[in-house]
Amino acid sequence: MEVAKKIESVRSLVGTARSRGKKIGLVPTMGALHAGHISLIEAAVKKCNFVVVSIFVNPTQFVPGEDFEKYPRPIKNDLKICKKAGVDVVFAPTPEQMYPMENLTWVNVKKLTESLCGRFRPGHFRGVTTVCAKLFNIVAPDIAFFGQKDAQQAIVIKRMVADLNMPLEIVICPTVREPDGLAVSSRNQYLSKQQKKEAANIYKSLCKCSELIGAGIKNTAEIVAQMRAILKQIPRGEIEYVEIVNAETLQSIDKIAGKVLAAVAVRIGHARLIDNILVDAAK
């Protein structure tokens, strides 16, 4: 496994692989790798025969006051995990590599970034789409892999790729969970054992939503109220949002119909946790 810190190094390694007819897979991450990231790498290894993992804590997607400085950066362990998972190249640039001068060019996906997390993290998605556009231009993968855990991000990236005719496929992989349902996340490290246990109520609330839709309840407000009641069981948990939206447009809906996305964001201690599930009401 090669570790490239420079853009020209990763370009040259990928260029050689491509000239040998390899199919290039990219897994963009911010590091602090866990079972969720590993599942994306495994999907990439299955579908591609040259896999690049990028590890970059992207400053432009953090809103002022967020955890950019203290975001975990256990690079040694991350490299071990990548090697074991069969990664060919880890691209781990510095912020100076990625942003050598004031960035004047931004990718902004409208509408889809205005609801859910977009309302609470202004500028976050602009940072995500811009860094992903940069990574796609640097690595030029055939396929890039993202997690359903960050559902809004996945939809936004897919739309950027479609709107800008970027020549790659986006594959979305299922959310990996702890045995109690808590979505695995780098930010779970900020939780105490007790808080982690309580955080399982996030997934419980999502399961309740799925159950109620399955039982034929159509009134979104009624479902959201029951989800909130479960989330209230997290002591000192601050609910940022609990929403049920159209799974394609991410717009709020009053009545459940077709494919919907139930999404939750809760602050517990120093962690801001998000999770979601897709429910097809037609089924």
Q: Which residues bind ligand AMP (CB under 6 A)?
A: 29-30, 36-37, 39-40, 146-147, 149-150, 173, 175-176, 183-186
Residue 212: CB minimum distance to ligand AMP, A: 24
Structure tokens given for 72: 């975990």
CA angle 23, 48, 56 (to 5 degrees): 95
Residue 29: CB minimum distance to ligand AMP, A: 4
User: What is the rounded distance in angstroms from the CA atom of residue 272 to the CA atom of residue 66?
Assistant: 10
Q: Which residues pair with 239 in a beta bridge?
A: 266
Rg (C-alpha) for the chain, rounded Å, is 19
Question: Hey, is 168 helix, strand or coil?
Answer: coil
CB-nearest residue to ligand AMP: 147
Residue (25 or 147) nearer to ligand AMP, CB: 147
Residue (158 or 197) nearer to ligand AMP, CB: 158
Please identify which of the residues 34, 37, 124, 270 carries the catalytic annotation.
Answer: 37
Residue 16: CB minimum distance to ligand AMP, A: 26
User: What is the rounded distance in angstroms from the CA atom of residue 46 to the CA atom of residue 230?
Assistant: 38
37 is a catalytic site residue: yes
Structure tokens given for 65: 């006051």
Residue 188: CB minimum distance to ligand AMP, A: 9
Structure tokens given for 18: 């491509």
234, amino acid identity? I
User: What is the rounded distance in angstroms from the CA atom of residue 169 to the CA atom of residue 161?
Assistant: 8
Residue (98 or 253) nearer to ligand AMP, CB: 98
Residue (115 or 153) nearer to ligand AMP, CB: 153
Structure tokens given for 69: 């400085």
Residues classed as catalytic: 37
